Amino acid sequence: MNPTLLTASTLMMLLPNPKRLMLGYLLGALMTSITLGLVIVFSFEGSGAVSTTQNTLSPVATMTLGAIFLTIALVIGKGRDQTAPRRERKKDKGPPRWQQRLSQGTARTTFVIGALLTLPGASYLAGLNRIDKLNYSTAGTVLLVLAFNVVMLALLEVPLLGFVIAPAWTVDAIDRAKASVGSHWRRFAAVALYVLGGLLVIKGLIELLA
* pTM of full prediction above 0.75: no
SS3 of residue 58 by DSSP: coil
- The CB-based long-range contact list for 45-53 (8 Å cut-off, 24+ gap) reads 45/132, 46/132, 50/125, 50/126, 50/128, 50/129, 50/132, 51/129, 53/120, 53/122, 53/125
pLDDT of residue 99: 45
pLDDT of residue 58: 60
pLDDT at 154 over 80: yes
pLDDT at 148 over 90: yes
Query: What percentage of residues in the chain have a pLDDT greater than 90?
Result: 9
Burial of 25 (0-12, 13-18, 19+ CB in 10 A): buried
The 10s digit of each residue's pLDDT in 120-142 is 777 788 888 888 888 888 899 99
Burial of 156 (0-12, 13-18, 19+ CB in 10 A): buried
Side chain identity, residue 50: V
The 10s digit of each residue's pLDDT in 16-44 is 788 888 998 899 899 988 988 888 888 75
Angle at 49 between CA 48 and CA 51, to 5 degrees: 65
pLDDT at 146 over 50: yes
Q: Which of 120, 6, 5 is nearest to 56 (CA)?
A: 120
pLDDT at 149 over 90: yes
Instruction: Determine the Cα–Cα distance for residues 209 and 187; give it in Å rounded to an integer.
Output: 33
pLDDT of residue 69: 67
pLDDT of residue 195: 80
The 10s digit of each residue's pLDDT in 104-122 is 667 888 888 888 778 777 7
CA dihedral 125, 68, 96, 89 (to 10 degrees): 150
**Which pLDDT band holds residue 143 (cuts at 50, 70, 90)?**
very high
